[in-house]
Structure formats: structure tokens, C-alpha cells
Chains A and B, each alone.
Chain A
Amino acid sequence: MSAFTALLARDMRIAIRVGGGALMGALFFLIVVTMMPFAIGPDLALLARIGPAILWLGALLASLLALDRLFATDHDDGSLDLLMMGRMPLELAIAAKGIAHWLTTGLPLVLITPVLGLMLNVELGAMGWVSLTLLAGTPALTFIGLIGAALSVALRRGGLLLAVLVLPLTIPVLIFGVAAANAAIVGPAPFGPPFTILCALSLASFVLGPIAAAAALRHGLE
């Protein structure tokens, strides 16, 4: 087994064990979306119209939730030192951790979205489209979040700083994610362009996120 897959498998295994936090994001997502109809009221037409935006905001906040511990636990127990000394470039190690984090935190959000749509009066067919935009967009949230997680790793109470650093960077993802979802459900703008840009954002952050995060870790832990 290569170092890359070994790290990927380890992080996934830790995440799904007790206290690992894999399902915390999904539960948080569930509770945020559940609260929305109570705050907004029983206006079904309004709920259906803003449903995709609520789902996207919920997914954004939920994917931030477990991110602050991503490097902090490895830093606290000394694993990070060994990861940095390894023969595998640190960028690749970070990419492995990012993929493991998305598979255990981002993917569950995508999978439970169709169920949550019921609470927001979004039709089942339309929920498919929203899920598709989340599938394309949540990797961008994770890999942009890696940068903030790396920057805040050496700080105490880094979680708050993480949110402040990362949320502004995710604005483009949010804009094009909601635009694509709305285009698919109500139109009249075509679905293709915002969805393609969303995919591009995910791919770009998949490449740039680990590089920036590795630079931040090397600098921050000097």
C-alpha cells in the first residue's frame, strides 16, 4: 500500500470511529435545515424558492464544522512532524487528508440532501439537481478549507479564525452553486454555465488548496 492510500485509509478509519466526527457535519446540516421552516414560517412557495440557497448555506457551514481539527489533531499528537518528514511531498499528504475528509464529511451531506428537500418543499426531481450541484461544489469547500485549517493549526481556538478566513473564499462557490441549482429548478437561465464554473472551482481548489496549505504549514510550524 502506498503512503498516499495508507494516509487516506487511516483518516477515513479515524473519522468513522467513535468521536471521529464523520457524521457530525451531516447532523449539523440536518438541524440547520430543520430549523429554517420554523424561522421562515409555513409559506410553501417561499420555502421552495429559497430552498436551494438554504441547503447550500447549510452545507457550507456543516463542511466547516469538522475542518478545524483536520491538522490540529495531527499537530497535537506529533503525527504532523512525521508527515512533514516523509518521502511523500507534503502537498500530496494534504491532498490525501482532504479527500478522506470530503469522503467522510462532504459526501454524506450530498447523500442526505434529497431527504432534507422534503422539509423545504422542494420537489424530488429538483432535489436531484441540487444534490448534483452539491456533489460538484462541496469538494471546493473542503479544499479551500484546507488552507484555513493549515493557517490556524498552530493557534489556540483556531476554529473561529478558520471560519473568518475561509468563508469569504467560498463566496464564488456559493454564488455558482445556488445559481446552478436555481437554474435547474426555476430557470430561465441555462444550467450549464454556472455548473461548469462550479466544477472548475472544485478542480482548481483541488490543485491549489493542498499547495497553499502545505506552504502555510511549513511556514506556521517553523
Chain B
Amino acid sequence: MQLTAENLACSRGGREVFAGVNFSMPGGEALVVTGRNGAGKSSLLRMLAGLISISAGRLALTGAENDATLAEQSHYLGHQDAVKPSLSVSENLRFWAEFLGGRDAIGAALEAVDLVPLADLPAAYLSAGQRRRLSIARLVAVQRPVWLLDEPTSALDVPSQKRLAELMRGHLVGGGMIVAAAHGPIGLERARELKLGPA
């Protein structure tokens, strides 16, 4: 499996955010996108997720199992957690697992993010970090080869950051790929860096 971007450009509201972005990564690798505020890290991830259109250049995922699009092969973890406050923790996760067509691994996914004791609590009572972990549980419950993570460690405490790093390592060992936008280290040793904007 290979994810390739050639001369990718993005313009938002008539302003060019970035241009001439090139990278190529095989399965099992991680790419950390860095850059100053407004350099286009989130825009690049949303572009990979198919949520904003490509202004110029080419983006391709080759060698995937079926002919699904990049967006359909990806998990997107954005700034918002896609958690409904009136549903319980397990109801939230079960919905996304069913919607995303995942295997039935709700319990294991809650275990992986250490939310089992809170499974029946309405999500309205969760802290920001706990909501984040619930959102991360989605990545575990449903298998997708590409993880697009926008500042995945924000709001997470140190033990949770370690857990997330373990999950990411496991995903890479299984042949998956990760594109993450981050300001600081996200706990992956062998990640390549893509710097956006002026050096």
C-alpha cells in the first residue's frame, strides 16, 4: 500500500494556504505534519479525508484491498470529538462502529482507551480528555488502514498519551499508516516529518 501526494496545493477563501507539497509513504510508516499556526496542517488532513477539495496536484492511495476511496479507507480524528452528550459512552462508540461498518469490538476498544468503568455514563459528563479517548476508541473498534490524526494528544494526560502511542505503534506494525498534525512529539520514534509553510 502506498500513499502518494504530488504537488498538492490548497487554497481556502481565495488565499493559498500551501502549495507544492510532495510525499510518498508505504504502509507501516508515520508522517508527522508540522508547521506554524495557519500553515495548513489541518487543511492537509481534511484534504486527505476528502472533506475539502484539492486545488491542484494529485493524491492517490494505491495497493489497497478494494477500490474504496482514500476517505473510505481512513479514520479522521479532528479537533471535535463527534461525541453526542445525551448518549452513553458505549452507545456513542457502538453507533460509530456500526456506521463505519466495523467489527463488533466495542468492549476491546473501550478497554484500549481505559473507559470501561464509564461505559454507561452519559457522554455529557466526560472531561475533554475522556471525550478524546472515546473518540480514539473508534479507531480501535473499526479497522481502517489510514489514520488521519489532528493533534491527537491534545487534552490527553501523560498515561493516555502513552496508551495512544502504543495504539499507534500497533497500527503501524499491522501495516497501517498514520498522518498526524502535531506541534510537539506524539510518541512515535521513527516518524518522518513534513514541514509546511516557510522554514
A binding-site residues for B, Cβ under 8 Å: 1-3, 6-7, 9-10, 13-14, 17-20, 76-79, 81-88, 221-222
Given contacts A85-B49, A86-B72, A87-B101, 17 further A-B contacts (CB under 8 A): A1-B98, A3-B101, A6-B98, A10-B84, A10-B91, A10-B95, A13-B87, A14-B84, A18-B86, A77-B82, A79-B84, A82-B99, A85-B50, A85-B71, A87-B68, A87-B72, A222-B53
- A13 CA to B100 CA in the complex, in Å? 18
Q: Please, what's the 1-or-0 string for B99-127, where 1 marks a CB less than 8 Å from any CB in chain A?
A: 11100000000000000000000000000
- A124 CA to B49 CA in the complex, in Å? 55
B76 within 8 Å of A (CB atoms): yes
Taking CB atoms, residues of chain A closer than 8 Å to B86 are: 14, 17-20
- Give the contacting residue for B78; candidates A19, A78, A86; CB below 8 A: A78
- Residues A76 and B80 in contact in the complex (CB < 8 Å), given A84-B51, A222-B53: yes
B192 within 8 Å of A (CB atoms): no
**Closest residue on chain B to residue A78 by CB atoms:** B80
**Closest residue on chain B to residue A73 by CB atoms:** B84
**Closest residue on chain A to residue B135 by CB atoms:** A78
Taking CB atoms, residues of chain A closer than 8 Å to B78 are: 78, 81
B98 near A81 (CB under 8 angstroms)? no
B51 near A3 (CB under 8 angstroms)? no
Closest CB-CB distance, A104 to chain B, in whole Å? 13
- Residues A81 and B91 in contact in the complex (CB < 8 Å), given A1-B98, A14-B84: no
A81 near B99 (CB under 8 angstroms)? no
- Give the contacting residue for A78; candidates B52, B79, B100; CB below 8 A: B79
- A18 CA to B122 CA in the complex, in Å? 11
B95 near A6 (CB under 8 angstroms)? yes
- Residues A77 and B83 in contact in the complex (CB < 8 Å), given A10-B95, A86-B99: yes
B82 near A79 (CB under 8 angstroms)? yes
B81 within 8 Å of A (CB atoms): yes
Closest CB-CB distance, B119 to chain A, in whole Å? 16
B98 near A77 (CB under 8 angstroms)? no
Taking CB atoms, residues of chain B closer than 8 Å to A7 are: 95, 99
**Closest residue on chain A to residue B86 by CB atoms:** A17
Taking CB atoms, residues of chain B closer than 8 Å to A9 are: 95
Closest CB-CB distance, A93 to chain B, in whole Å? 9
- A86 CA to B95 CA in the complex, in Å? 13
**Closest residue on chain B to residue A18 by CB atoms:** B86
- Residues A3 and B79 in contact in the complex (CB < 8 Å), given A10-B84, A14-B87: no
B153 within 8 Å of A (CB atoms): no
**Closest residue on chain A to residue B91 by CB atoms:** A13
- Give the contacting residue for A3; candidates B71, B80, B83, B98; CB below 8 A: B98
Closest CB-CB distance, B130 to chain A, in whole Å? 15
B147 within 8 Å of A (CB atoms): no
Closest CB-CB distance, B159 to chain A, in whole Å? 25
B96 within 8 Å of A (CB atoms): yes
Interface residues of B in 45-68 (CB under 8 A from A): 46, 49-53, 68
Taking CB atoms, residues of chain A closer than 8 Å to B68 are: 87
B90 within 8 Å of A (CB atoms): no
**Closest residue on chain B to residue A83 by CB atoms:** B99
- Give the contacting residue for B81; candidates A13, A17, A77, A88; CB below 8 A: A77
- A6 CA to B81 CA in the complex, in Å? 19
Taking CB atoms, residues of chain B closer than 8 Å to A83 are: 99
